[in-house]
Amino acid sequence: MNTSTIFTRMDSPIGVLTLAADGEGLRRIDFPPPRPPPAGEAWIEGDSEVLRETRRQLEEYFAGSRRDFDLPLSPRGTGFQRRVWTTLAAIPYGTTWSYRDLAQRLGKPSATRAVGAANGRNPLPIVLPCHRVIGADGSLTGFGGGLPTKAFLLRLEGSLPAASEGLFPA
């Protein structure tokens, strides 16, 4: 396993994103402000094929011409977290699921809180679309990039719940 992590930054409509990849694939996407590397890891600023392709696909997404991502992924987390994150990719563009829907899809209908916690630790937002998970009542709930960013992404996809439209002006 290649443990070297390379990172770069890219401008986006939601601020400067930090993209990080290792020899296995895309490892992290950080909203501004960037988080520090995990303890004990040294990240090197640079570029790689995975980072270039991630940047290209994100630019297409923000331009409205991409709905799905096709990237090698290398997120770090527990087995349960990785199952939750993989399931996020099944939420179709332009739709939202509740935390309950996500828990049921995982076959863990009583694990809504654990699913919510794993969703909140998603290291690859946008690519693994945790922004598409909302409250059962249609409300926007916590999001690492902030609720205005979540509203922006849902509006971009045409799926911002009507109840939230006035709360987060475009």
> What is the distance, to the nearest Å, from the Cα of residue 86 to the centroid of all Cα atoms in its chain?
11
CA–CA distances in Å: residue 142 to residues 40, 158, 165: 28, 20, 16
Residue in 17, 124, 130, 156 annotated catalytic: 130
Give ∠ CA 150-84-66 in degrees, rounded to 5: 50
Can 6 be counted among the known catalytic residues? no
- What residue type is assigned to position 82 of the chain? R
What pairing do the DSSP bridges indicate for beta strands 17-22 and 25-30? antiparallel
Q: Would you please indicate which residues are annotated as catalytic (active-site) residues?
A: 130
